[in-house]
Amino acid sequence: MGRKKAIAAGHICLDITPAFSGKEEREITDIFVPGQLVAMEQAKVSLGGAVSNTGVGMKLLGADATLMGMTGADAFGQIIMNELEKYGVSGDSMIVREDCGTSYSVILAPPGIDRIVLHHTGANDAFLPEDIDLEKVEKASLFHFGYPPLMKKMYGDGGKEFIRLLKMVHETGTAVSVDMAMFEEHTEAGKQDWNAILKEAVPYIDFFVPSVEELCLMLDRERYREWKKRAGGHDVTKFLDIEKDVKPLSDTLLSYGAKVILIKCGAPGLYFRTADRERLLKIGGGIGAEIADTWADRECFERSYFVEKVVSGTGAGDTTIAAFLAAVLEGKSWQDALHLATATGALCVQTYDALGGILPLEEVQKLIDSGWEKQKQGDK
């Protein structure tokens, strides 16, 4: 039997990351001052978005992954196609639109400060369920969809098209994983009732892998505002209590029908929780039958691995998920899947782009086995 196949679909963009001069950590208000010229080093241009970061990431980790995304017929779109080719990824399942521009992000990641992303959604806004090649989906064990909050057709009209897409894929019998994206409350995406959307969508999702901030903003905005106030302008994830802040969000997801929940909690690590055996058996792609007995009713917080220097957090969440899903496809235990996921995320933050630090799963496992230390509680 060959490797299990995976599909990565949804949002794709071009990431432009200017490199900051110097290594010292400074307050953001000391860096960005109106009228001030900020000296920068050479910019890094790389693939971005869930399709490339998670899809190409899975491929680099050793999975058999096909990418389904949408670009415009412009210079940025051509760069994306060229970059995919460099990674040995076929563009056969990619869609090029003449009437849309390609999505791009300008990522500002000063040393010691959580990144700021300037983003244009571009062709992603036109993505519809019909753009998915269902024949290829039917042959895959896993379908991963990323960033619906950055795709207008997906979140508009109460998430109608997003839910329709999930139902279409669910009916093929393929396992479904979904990642989210951050948005501002005042935007069109932010004005949607995401709690209602998730309540309808979650039963069709087998692996739900959002960040803690995305999830809280969707499920409990008052709680999220309290977090922001508590953090005082700093990274929210460094001020969270897992039992009081994160677990209640997973309680809500389980009540909505969630099966496997993996919540990215920034630099501290990952929160993992699963449903009972009966529910896990419903996971598609043949995966449910493989994991139900050993993955059922689990809950833990997996701390990140220690790194000497964080260069950039760009794509760290996506590549963490790529490793987790690749491990699932390889039949790894839930413990090994979490170790490989956090280790891959730690490798990612040591490079400027999302994919530069990725190693095959077996190489990541060697680093873990060599005694790579975890962060201790209280480490930043």
pLDDT of residue 90: 84
- Give exposure, 170-194, as e/b (b: 16+ Cβ within 10 Å): bebebbbbbbbbbbeeeeebbebeb
| Strand blocks (E) in 180-315 | 207-208, 260-264, 269-274, 299-303
Helix (H) or strand (E) holding 85: helix 75-86
Within its chain, how far is the Cα of 339 from the centroid? 17
Report whether 241 contacts 271 (CB < 8 A): no
- pTM of the shown model: 0.91
Handedness of CA 308, 313, 319, 323 (dihedral sign): positive
DSSP classification of residue 374: B
Give the 3-state secondary structure of residue 104. strand
pLDDT at residue 233 in the model: 85
CA distance 324 to 338: 6
Cβ pair 260, 280 in contact under 8 A: yes
DSSP state of 211: B
Would strands 70-72 and 299-303 be described as parallel, antiparallel, or unpaired? unpaired
Residue 270 to residue 186: CA distance in whole angstroms: 28
What pLDDT does residue 361 have? 95
CA atoms of 184 and 167, how far apart (whole Å): 27
- Structure confidence at residue 1 (pLDDT): 46
Per the CB < 8 A criterion, the answer to whether 52 and 67 are in contact is: yes
Q: Give the domain ranges of the chain.
A: 5-23+42-369
Q: What stretches in the chain show pLDDT beneath 70?
A: 1-2, 377-380
Q: At 151, which amino acid appears?
A: M
E-state strands within the chain: 5-10, 13-20, 40-48, 64-68, 70-72, 95-97, 104-108, 116-120, 142-146, 175-179, 207-208, 260-264, 269-274, 299-303
| Exposure class string for 57-80: b at 16+ Cβ within 10 A, else e | bbbbbbbebbbbbbbbebebbebb
Pick the CATH number of 5-23+42-369 from 3.20.20.70, 3.40.1190.20, 3.40.50.10310, 1.10.3720.10: 3.40.1190.20
Determine the angle formed by the axes of helices 221-231 and 212-219, rounding to 10 degrees. Answer: 130
Residue 246 contacts residue 270 (beta carbons within 8 Å): no
